[in-house]
Amino acid sequence: MSNSGVVPDLLDCLVVGGGPAGLTAAIYLSRFRRKVAVVDDGNSRALWIPRSHNCSGFPDGIGGRELLARMKTQAECFGAKLIRGRIERIYGTAGEFRADGEAIRIEAHAIVLATGTVNRKPDIDAATHQAALDRGQLRYCPICDGFEAAGQAIGVLGADARGVAEALFLRTYSEDVTLLTMDAVDVDADDLARLNKAGIKLERRRLARLEFGEDGVSTLLEDGDALRLDTVYPALGSDSNDMLAQALGLKMGDGCCIAVDQKQRTSREGVYAAGDIVHALDQISVAMGHAAIAATTLHNDLRERDEAVR
């Protein structure tokens, strides 16, 4: 990945974000013989995945870091330029966008936003967080790895509607699921009845601290008592990386995600979006599918524009 962010030539497309969506878009566009650059700040949440078993073609699983490395190599093989950095501003209109950041200046006919989202984390330091992820003691996606937590003592952080939904989903995999209270219990009577029916425990005492060790997770409660768990799922929500979308005045869906049509076009001509920044199921396979559609649509839109001016 290059550190040089000044691209002298007018590109067909600038892709913002180098996660599974952005890199898939770059692979498709470069194979369409388009001039494309990907600008990525190195913070894709795919990097948090120790090993995914949901990626087709990898029966033994693949780590997020390795998957992205392979995708970068593949994109570069076909001519995509990969730049480490962060886009701060995008100006202009379809056909003549300009994007700037620290030591970055790029001009492009079209933009693909694949900026993703960021999970809200419990209050633990970065090293502990990574070690807990690596050991499977901290997990963020029940759809991705609930299977790997089967039969374990599972804790879900967040005694609210979001936490209830996640706990009920995880009940498929384990009979030992506990919903933990972060600040206050915000569970209505209907949800409480659902928890009771499913045999999910609601711990009303507030969580004071999480401790991760080789033999499991210790959840220290406000009264000094502690629960021993095998793994913990924070159900604390996520925040969209929507700064550029907001600055471009894009129509948003579901409050914080970019609204797109069936071809991944946004409300602004020449701007497309793919991956977790779009309201959909947050999965690598979905992000790749979005990107394939966005890249193909973008390529065809540029072809039609070029044909019209000939």
Q: Do the Cβ atoms of 185 and 161 come closer than 8 Å?
A: no
pLDDT confidence of residue 255: 73
Q: pTM, whole model, 2 decimals? A: 0.92
Query: 117 pairs with which residues across the strands?
Result: 240
Question: For residue 70, what are its two tokens?
Answer: 């392979």
Report the half-sphere exposure of 118 (CA within 13 A, side-chain side): 11
67 phi and psi, to 5 degrees? -60, -45
pLDDT confidence of residue 2: 61
d(Cα 150, Cα 17) in Å, to the nearest integer?
A: 33
pLDDT confidence of residue 310: 63
Q: Is 28 helix (H, G, I), strand (E, B) or coil?
A: helix
Residue 21's nearest CA partner among 41, 1, 3, 44 is 44
d(Cα 32, Cα 110) in Å, to the nearest integer?
A: 14
pLDDT confidence of residue 4: 59
CA angle 57, 83, 285 (to 5 degrees): 25
Query: 227 pairs with which residues across the strands?
Result: 219
pLDDT confidence of residue 263: 98
One digit per residue, the tens of pLDDT, for the chain of length 310 reads 665 577 778 999 999 999 999 999 999 999 999 999 999 999 999 998 999 999 999 999 999 999 999 999 999 999 999 999 999 999 999 999 999 998 999 999 999 999 999 999 999 999 999 999 999 999 999 999 999 999 999 999 999 999 999 999 999 999 999 999 999 999 999 999 999 999 999 999 999 999 999 889 999 999 999 999 999 999 999 999 999 999 999 999 877 899 999 999 999 999 999 999 999 999 999 999 999 999 999 999 999 988 877 6
